[in-house]
Structure 1
Amino acid sequence: MRTIFRWLLRIAGGMVILAVLAVAGVYFLASRSLPDYDRTVRVDGLSAPVEIVRDNANVPHIFGATDADVFYALGYAHAQDRLWQMITLRRTVQGRLSEIFGLRTVEIDKLMRRYDLYTQAIASVEDQTPETRSALTAYAAGVNARLNEINRDSLGRGAPEMFLFDVPVSPWQPADSIAIGKLLAVQMSGQLAQEVERARVSLALPQAGMLRDILPDAPGQEILDLPEYASLMPKGAGSRYAGLTPGFTTDGLPDTPLSPFPAPGMAGASNAWAAAPARSASGGTLLANDPHLGFTAPTVWYLARLELQQGGVIGGTIPGIPLVLVGRSQYLGWGLTSSYLDDLDTYMEEVNPENPEEYRGPDGWETFRTRRSIIGIKDASPVTMTLRWTDNGPVLPGSHYHLDTVTPPGHVASINWTALSPDDTSLSAGLGLMYARSVDQAIEAGRLHIAPSQNLMLADAGTVGFKMIGAVPDRDAAHDSQGRMPSLGWRSENRWKGFQPYDNNIQIVAPEGGIIGNTNNKFTDRAFPDNVAFDWGDTQRIHRWQRLMQSREVHTRDSFIEAQLDTVSFTARSLLPLIGKDLWFTGEPAPDGTPERLRQDALLLLADWNGEMNEHMPEPLIYAAWAAALQDRLIRDELGPLADDFVHLDPVFIERVFRDIDGAGRWCDVIRSAVTETCDDIARQSLDAALIWISERYGDNLESLRWGDVHQAAQDHPVLGNIPVLRYFVNIHQDTSGGDNTLMRGVTKGTGPNPFLNVHGAGYRGVYDFADPDSSVFIISTGQSGHPLSRHYDDLAQLWRRGEYIPMSLDTALAKAAAVGITHLEPAAR
């Protein structure tokens, strides 16, 4: 027995030793790719030595003899810290994810191949300005210098993920950066999904006119009613309902963090506002900006300072692109918000029944343009697909975005989209913005921007301005659907006539009131076809912003920060009195422990609440759960499975229903029941359902609830984040305040076991003060490094969560004072 025990002890000890050795081996291999920031490296392609100073937040401050050398060093720094992210973004836009990840990403690759963005990026290289081509070439050389260094010195393949997914990395090309810019258009666009959803809902609703209730126009100037979708199409267009395939999103695409296609309600968004000297306490202009994208670890943003020949530029970059997309120079500050321009049209193309290689054009049958494409798949046979185009654009399969549910028999769907341009000069516009010295020069630089359309918020030393940039489709006034739903592709009135002149884009410089801002809200009342959009990104945040801006005569950097971090929900404050008006302080007293008492306790808490979505309070969770249950109960019987697409509260819809605008109160009646329900009935039932949901998960002690426990910012690694054990080291989860409709926006997931996870918000925040530029501040939501073993992987995350910032200074001495390292790049000996 003693011998057996000794042997068991030896085996156990051996296993422990082996486990320790395995962990040590993994750590050693992974740590090899941690960059050394304090060294001298000889590289090819530089004209003179370059210095990369990493301040104590690991923000690189880059100094070189020429601008090309500075862009070279930015490429090198991006590859040091975010190589895996860059490789993944490039493979996504190329439609080559499946070579690494296998069958789970095949559908993503198929759709990206149909968009053919990478081919268009290659074609766009020669369209760039000479300065942009120089920057792209230098940047690519800097990335490749880092790749060569990794291969030469065996630096752990450049990123720990490369040990799990061992694939060759091809040299970086100028077209790669343009392609990633186009990928941003994919991530920020919800137009295709909105068009198909509007058509599906139109087919599903039992009564005419209900479409305006559930998909309401933004409040403002009246817009003429559109016809029902069925009246625009040949008979047999789609079915009433389309179910959800397990493992796929409501758009019919794979449910994976690797997907670049935004889920409903998750397209690009942002806040930006600026104040002229007359509205600034310091007498200088102010600008604040926080762009909103889906959360990941690391964030898509990367802070950098470039010392160009005309002076310093500092702000947020995106690895893979040699631009400061949002930030400031010593002359100018600029921010971006999504404009929500309707820059995409979906078409139904009739296929020739006698020849499937032809489709109907305005003058008869025309031949599809086709090309074969092969998708390599890890651990599976490759897939060969045929890409097809009409004169309108690429043909998409019915499996994507549920196009099959709205496509008539004998037809296929195609799209025309500004992001598909093979002459895309958007990167040249971005570079021109970095060199601009005034608001007027910045607006002129925006002339070259194609997609995605953005609102440019600007501030120079003397004034502020706003300009919508991006190509605007020139539609015919007789367009069947005004671009809101799919239309027949062969009708000339439905096809684009080109693009509107850039000078027609909305512009405001030196506003009379001294303050200008945008929260993705409706900013023009132009009638179709000169309108910007019918569907806007915000109808709520703008009201809170207006109140904060007009509550004081002059503003400061700190008041702009206060507004950026504001968590009061205008939506909660306006809807709760409406939906609960006949529930508060009514009914008989109920004994403790009964559903009626729980409802009364919840209503008492909400009655004293000011609408602040604070992470430490219970009221935000009660309100959010009630509102979600209310909307679902209102629409479920009319829409059936289509209700699954409406995972976020639409406050305008709720207000229309409870105010019975245009008869919208009819949504309160459950059409499948014999009795006639009132809106008060639905409100009470929804509150009870929400409290049951809360009690089953968190208990019925309402005062102990915390919004932050469920509204955690889920910044997950898109590849390693689902691997057991490993996910605890690579995912960054933090309790956060805010919500879907607060200025400090934290959009909830809307689905799954925790629908209130915060998954989309401000990965970057910046506030710039031109009275004292070096007092400007910025922050990102994770850290600068994409390496999980780096202390800079998440060191900025807690600052971001607490609403803190780091200095945004162009002071070289300050950057060097507490530098974590200085990298010297020197030209290789010739």
Structure 2
Amino acid sequence: MLTLFRWLLRIATALVVLSVVVVVGVYYFLSRSLPDYDATWQVRGVSGTVEIARNTWAVPHVFGPTDADVFFGLGFAHAQDRLWQMTILRRTVQGRLSEVFGERTVRTDELMRRLDLYTLAQESVAVQDNDTLNALDAYARGVNAWINLVNERALGRGAPEYFLFPGEIGLWQPADSIAIVKLMAVQLSGHLENEVRRARLSALIGEERTVDLMPGDPSAGMAALPDFASLFPGLTDTQLAMAPSVPGEAPGEALSPFNSIEMAGASNAWAAGVLRSANGGTLLANDPHLPFAAPSIWYLARLDLTSGAVTGGTIPGIPVVLVGRSEALGWGLTTAYLDDQDLFLEELNPENPQEYRTPDGWTAFETRRSIITVADSDPVTITLRWSENGPILPGTHYSLAAVTPPGHVAALSWTALAGDDTSLSAAIGLMRAQNVDEAIATMERYVAPAQNLTLIDREHIAMQMIGRMPRRDAASPTRGMMPAPGADPAARWDGFFPYESNPRFVDPETGLLGNTNNKPLDRPFPLHVSFNWGDTVRIQRWVRLMRQRSVHTRESFIEAQLDTVSQAARLLLPLVGAELWFQGEPAQPGTSESQRQLALQLLADWNGEMSEHLPEPLIYAAWMRELQFRLIRDELGPSVDMFTHMEPEFLERVFRNTDGAGVWCDVVQSAVVETCVDIARTAMDAALLDLTRTYGPAIESWRWGDAHQATHDHPVLGDVPILRHFVNIRQSTSGGDHTLMRGRTAGGPPGTREPFLNVHGAGYRGVYDMADPEASVFIISTGESGHPLSRHYDDLGVLWRRGEYIPMTLDPDLARAGGVGITRLEPRQ
């Protein structure tokens, strides 16, 4: 017995020692790719010594003898911290994810190949100005310098992910940076999906009820929708009611850049002139909204250029401070919702399907074969086709099969499909601009994705919509709202409007400018900008906050940026619950009626603040979500999945019975005529039952933050057991779909697990004060490093969750003082 015990002890000891050795060995190899921020490297491609001084949070401040050397340093820093992220972004836009990830990304690769964005990026290199070409070339050399050092010094392959997903790290090219700009256009565009959705709805439920769900722009006569069914009589009701297919890969596929329309972009930006600023200088606050990931798409940096230092948010792979400030200028971006996409249904020649109808007769498609290499599987060969209107997209994406009649294929016209894209030249010029007028002038070269650019200098404020605006015929049969016949000359684009036609606001009398993706002005079609806007309620909250003060400060702008009061909740609850508050005698404890009474009591005393610590936001969100599904599912059937989030405008129209919208409350299939009060009551009971199953019966103990966790998940390893606990960053957060501190929920059809996860929001926040530029503050939602073993992987995320910021000085001496080290890049002879 003693011998057996000794052997068991020896075996257990050996297993423990072996486990320790394995863990230490794995940690050693993975930690080899952690960059040393306090090192000197001999590199080729610089004219003199480049210094990358990193502050306490590892934010790089790049100094060099020439601007080219500074861009070299930025490329080096990006590659040190985010090499894996950069290569994945490049593979995505190239349509080469499947070489690494196999069959699960074939659909994404196929669609990216059909859009052909990387080829267009390569063509666009030649049209950049010399300043931009020099920056692109120097940046690429900086990235490649780090890749070469990784290979020469065996620095853990550059990132730990490369141990799990083998593959060569190709050298960076100037076209790669332009391609990533085009990839951002993919993430921020949603008009194609809106056209498909509107066409299906109008054919299924009629134009009057379509306006309820997609109210759009009332000033442009949205009630007079075109009759889509009459344009394409070959479509059947069964085809139109088909369940929607997912645009990219599969639901929740983190590597797909094709967001649904609900996630296609949002942002906040507002500015105050000198007369509305307490300290006599202009102010600007900006927080662009994008899908959350670990690491964040944003990366803070400071560049010491000859035209003046610039600091703010960059995207790894792009040699530009996209949002931030210089010594003379501050700038921020919000999605403009410009209608820059149109879908055309091309009629095929029945005698020769390789031809399609044009205004001048049958014409052959431009075709090219493309081979998608797939890891551990056979390659996939596809035929790329282009018509005069744009690339041909398959019916399996964006639900196109539901609106494409027999004998037709769908083509996409889109401003991002340009081989003369000078957007990056415009962005480089913006960093060098010395005042608002110069900034507006240089952005004429910007193409896509369309943005509202908010600007401040020391005396002026402005907002300029940037991006090419398609010129449509006033006689267009669909006005860009629905798919149009490709052969109709009135439906086709006739070039683009001049830059002067883009909306512009400079030094308004009120002294304040703001945009929350709301409609900024009324203009008739075709100068209307868009029929779809991203917001109608956040702007109301912003106006209220701005009017509370005659003058503003950096702190008041931060307060507005972090505001979590839902104007939608304040609007909807009195409407929906008007006849439910305090009805009847107190119910018996433990019954569904008593639970409803308690929930209604809590909501009655609630001010609409979507605080993570309260139960009321969870009750409200679950109730409104269940209510909308109950209102629309009998009319829409399988197509109900088109609407995955609560739409405040729709519920308001229904409960105010606007244009007869109260008819939605009656369940079509039942003999009884249900009222809106009936539906509101049953929706509340169903929502509470579902919440009880998840969070227990004690309503007072429910927390919005338990459901509304910010999901900064690793796009590749985030679903891998065990590993996900090390690479995913989950944080309880306040805010919601319709608050200024926006935390867009995951949504989804009925039965979706965790529909209230916070998946899309302000990954970057910045507030700039031109009266005291050094008081400007910044933050991103994770950390600078993309390495899970780095302490800078999530250190800024802790501050971000608490609503805190960090300073980023333009003073060279302060930038070099302290911090975590200075990297020196010296010329190699």
TM over 0.5: yes
Tell whether the 8 Å contact from 2:461 to 2:506 is kept in structure 1 after alignment.
yes
1:435 aligns with 2:432: yes
Per the alignment, residue 151 of structure 2 pairs with: 151
Tell whether the 8 Å contact from 1:242 to 1:405 is kept in structure 2 after alignment.
yes
Instruction: Quote the offset at 1:365 in angstroms.
Output: 0.5
Partner-residue secondary structure (3-state), 1:600: helix
Per the alignment, residue 211 of structure 1 pairs with: 210
Paired with 2:811 and 2:176, the residues of 1 have a C-alpha distance of 32
Unmatched 5+ stretches in structure 2: none
1:818 aligns with 2:822: no
Tell whether the 8 Å contact from 1:200 to 1:240 is kept in structure 2 after alignment.
no
Unmatched 5+ stretches in structure 1: none
Tell whether the 8 Å contact from 1:237 to 1:406 is kept in structure 2 after alignment.
no
Partner-residue secondary structure (3-state), 1:356: strand
Per the alignment, residue 734 of structure 2 pairs with: 737
Instruction: Quote the offset at 1:221 in angstroms.
Output: 6.0
Paired letter, 1:435: R
Map residues 77-88 of structure 1 onto 2, 5 A cutoff.
77-88=77-88
The correspondence for 1:677, drawn from 674, 678, 698, is 674
Paired with 2:149 and 2:274, the residues of 1 have a C-alpha distance of 49
The correspondence for 2:272, drawn from 269, 272, 275, is 275
1:46 aligns with 2:65: no
Instruction: Quote the offset at 1:208 in angstroms.
Output: 4.5
Which region of structure 1 is more displaced relative to structure 2, 381-390 or 693-702? 693-702
Paired letter, 2:122: I
The correspondence for 1:412, drawn from 400, 409, 412, is 409
**Once the two structures are superposed, what CA deviation does each residue of 1:573-595 show, in whole Å capped at 9, x if it has no partner?**
01100000000011232111111
Instruction: Quote the offset at 1:21 in angstroms.
Output: 1.5
Partner-residue secondary structure (3-state), 2:121: helix
Per the alignment, residue 329 of structure 1 pairs with: 326
Instruction: Quote the offset at 1:374 in angstroms.
Output: 0.3
**Once the two structures are superposed, what CA deviation does each residue of 1:675-708 show, in whole Å capped at 9, x if it has no partner?**
0001111111111111111111111211111111
1:397 aligns with 2:394: yes
Tell whether the 8 Å contact from 1:656 to 1:665 is kept in structure 2 after alignment.
yes
Partner-residue secondary structure (3-state), 1:328: strand
Paired with 1:174 and 1:253, the residues of 2 have a C-alpha distance of 31
Paired with 2:694 and 2:250, the residues of 1 have a C-alpha distance of 30
Map residues 336-485 of structure 1 onto 2, 5 A cutoff.
336-485=333-482
Partner-residue secondary structure (3-state), 1:825: strand
Paired with 1:135 and 1:113, the residues of 2 have a C-alpha distance of 27
**Once the two structures are superposed, what CA deviation does each residue of 1:431-475 show, in whole Å capped at 9, x if it has no partner?**
010000010100011100000000000000001001000000000
**Once the two structures are superposed, what CA deviation does each residue of 1:472-513 show, in whole Å capped at 9, x if it has no partner?**
000011111110110100110011000000011000111111
Partner-residue secondary structure (3-state), 2:494: coil
Percent of aligned positions with the same letter in both sequences?
63
Per the alignment, residue 629 of structure 2 pairs with: 632
Paired letter, 1:194: N
Instruction: Quote the offset at 1:8 in angstroms.
Output: 3.3
Which region of structure 1 is more displaced relative to structure 2, 9-18 or 656-665? 9-18
1:239 aligns with 2:221: no
Paired letter, 1:460: D
Paired with 1:716 and 1:70, the residues of 2 have a C-alpha distance of 32
Partner-residue secondary structure (3-state), 1:581: coil
**Once the two structures are superposed, what CA deviation does each residue of 1:519-539 show, in whole Å capped at 9, x if it has no partner?**
000012111111110010101
Tell whether the 8 Å contact from 2:615 to 2:702 is kept in structure 1 after alignment.
yes
Tell whether the 8 Å contact from 1:253 to 1:401 is kept in structure 2 after alignment.
no
Map residues 102-113 of structure 1 onto 2, 5 A cutoff.
102-113=102-113
Query: Over aligned residues, Cα RMSD in angstroms?
Result: 1.3
Which region of structure 1 is more displaced relative to structure 2, 589-598 or 319-328? 589-598
Instruction: Quote the offset at 1:177 in angstroms.
Output: 0.1
Instruction: Quote the offset at 1:244 in angstroms.
Output: 5.0
Per the alignment, residue 586 of structure 2 pairs with: 589
1:704 aligns with 2:704: no
Evaluate the alpha carbon distance shift between residue 373 and residue 238 of structure 1 in structure 2; reply closer, same or farther with a 3 A threshold: farther
Instruction: Quote the offset at 1:127 in angstroms.
Output: 0.5
Tell whether the 8 Å contact from 1:107 to 1:254 is kept in structure 2 after alignment.
no
Instruction: Quote the offset at 1:123 in angstroms.
Output: 0.1
Per the alignment, residue 309 of structure 2 pairs with: 312
Paired with 2:460 and 2:433, the residues of 1 have a C-alpha distance of 14
**Once the two structures are superposed, what CA deviation does each residue of 1:318-355 show, in whole Å capped at 9, x if it has no partner?**
00000000000000000000000000000111111111
Instruction: Quote the offset at 1:48 in angstroms.
Output: 1.0
Partner-residue secondary structure (3-state), 2:48: coil
Partner-residue secondary structure (3-state), 2:644: coil
Per the alignment, residue 162 of structure 2 pairs with: 162
Instruction: Quote the offset at 1:781 in angstroms.
Output: 0.2
Paired with 2:592 and 2:709, the residues of 1 have a C-alpha distance of 28
**Once the two structures are superposed, what CA deviation does each residue of 1:355-388 show, in whole Å capped at 9, x if it has no partner?**
1111111111000100000000000010011000
Per the alignment, residue 620 of structure 1 pairs with: 617
Per the alignment, residue 781 of structure 1 pairs with: 781
Paired with 1:283 and 1:223, the residues of 2 have a C-alpha distance of 43
Instruction: Quote the offset at 1:771 in angstroms.
Output: 0.5
Evaluate the alpha carbon distance shift between residue 577 and residue 254 of structure 1 in structure 2; reply closer, same or farther with a 3 A threshold: closer
Evaluate the alpha carbon distance shift between residue 253 and residue 192 of structure 1 in structure 2; reply closer, same or farther with a 3 A threshold: farther
Partner-residue secondary structure (3-state), 2:78: helix
Partner-residue secondary structure (3-state), 1:465: strand
Map residues 20-169 of structure 1 onto 2, 5 A cutoff.
20-169=20-169
Paired with 2:108 and 2:307, the residues of 1 have a C-alpha distance of 42
Per the alignment, residue 506 of structure 1 pairs with: 503
Partner-residue secondary structure (3-state), 1:196: helix
Paired with 2:344 and 2:221, the residues of 1 have a C-alpha distance of 26
Which region of structure 1 is more displaced relative to structure 2, 348-357 or 173-182? 348-357
Tell whether the 8 Å contact from 2:239 to 2:403 is kept in structure 1 after alignment.
no
Paired with 2:634 and 2:253, the residues of 1 have a C-alpha distance of 29
Evaluate the alpha carbon distance shift between residue 505 and residue 43 of structure 1 in structure 2; reply closer, same or farther with a 3 A threshold: same
Instruction: Quote the offset at 1:741 in angstroms.
Output: 0.2
Tell whether the 8 Å contact from 2:285 to 2:767 is kept in structure 1 after alignment.
yes
Which region of structure 1 is more displaced relative to structure 2, 11-20 or 669-678? 11-20
Instruction: Quote the offset at 1:808 in angstroms.
Output: 2.5
Which region of structure 1 is more displaced relative to structure 2, 809-818 or 105-114? 809-818
Count of residues in correspondence between the two structures = 826
Instruction: Quote the offset at 1:611 in angstroms.
Output: 0.3
Evaluate the alpha carbon distance shift between residue 628 and residue 483 of structure 1 in structure 2; reply closer, same or farther with a 3 A threshold: same
Paired letter, 1:65: P
Per the alignment, residue 188 of structure 2 pairs with: 188
Partner-residue secondary structure (3-state), 1:498: strand
Which region of structure 1 is more displaced relative to structure 2, 648-657 or 177-186? 648-657
Partner-residue secondary structure (3-state), 2:288: strand
The correspondence for 1:258, drawn from 255, 260, 263, is 255
Paired letter, 1:234: P
Evaluate the alpha carbon distance shift between residue 491 and residue 577 of structure 1 in structure 2; reply closer, same or farther with a 3 A threshold: same
Tell whether the 8 Å contact from 1:252 to 1:401 is kept in structure 2 after alignment.
no
The correspondence for 2:642, drawn from 622, 642, 645, is 645
Paired with 1:772 and 1:362, the residues of 2 have a C-alpha distance of 60
Tell whether the 8 Å contact from 1:713 to 1:758 is kept in structure 2 after alignment.
yes
Per the alignment, residue 519 of structure 1 pairs with: 516
Partner-residue secondary structure (3-state), 2:600: helix
Instruction: Quote the offset at 1:260 in angstroms.
Output: 0.3
Partner-residue secondary structure (3-state), 2:7: helix
Paired letter, 1:100: V
Paired with 1:815 and 1:729, the residues of 2 have a C-alpha distance of 31
Paired with 1:253 and 1:68, the residues of 2 have a C-alpha distance of 42
Evaluate the alpha carbon distance shift between residue 53 and residue 189 of structure 1 in structure 2; reply closer, same or farther with a 3 A threshold: same
Paired with 1:717 and 1:642, the residues of 2 have a C-alpha distance of 31
